[in-house]
Structure 1
Amino acid sequence: MRKALDSAWPEPRKPLPPRPSALDPYKAVIDGIQRADLDAPRKQRHTVTRIFHRLIEEHGADVSYSMFRRYVADRKPQIAVEAGKAPVEAFIPQTHPPGMEAEVDFGDVAVRLAGELVSW
């Protein structure tokens, strides 16, 4: 109650620690398969489904396919960047204070001004 009276804004929430996942014990295996696929010919690379079936058959994993697919989709580009096989993508947000920059398109304009055709 005291905090609510002292400030109209609530305190920011504390970040929660990451929860363990059923996929955690198998992440190293999945990453290893994906790293090996970087040097394999295109036709010999594993599909996501094939990696999932190998995980179940060879390691007895009991994980959902959607959780597995999400992990592979997030991790695949990271592994390629770590191996130097893909460019690092960066996003640089741009901020422009109001009135500090303007965008202008230059071109020829013809206007009828006081009944006379004027171009500039």
Structure 2
Amino acid sequence: MRCVVSIDDFKILYNDWPYGVEEDIVHLVVWTKFELEDDPATDDLTPRMRREIDVFVERTFRSKMPAEKVIWFKNWKSLKSIHGIEHFHVMLYQPDPVFLRDITNGDVPVTEVQ
């Protein structure tokens, strides 16, 4: 994303409020310190921001695993669960556990914390 200047501008963590997805799918959230620009008329990302996120996802995820095993989305503003911090979702199908550890800086899903 053009807005990403350093590694401190975003954080990739497991989604602590997981969706009901199959076991082989890992649901991550990319938290950002900057606004992900929405089009007020559609409540969806602007085309420019959608391209920037896709470039980030390409560099960060699809360069490390098959592209067909990576999808991303951002909830419309009206569906966001946390409004104060910008974020988008990335789902990975059967990712390498070492890659997950590295990309999340050792984060673990809340469901695995005992």
TM-score (structure 1 length as normaliser): 0.26
Compare the two structures and name the one with the higher helix fraction.
1
TM-score normalised by length of structure 2: 0.27
| Higher strand content, 1 or 2 | 2
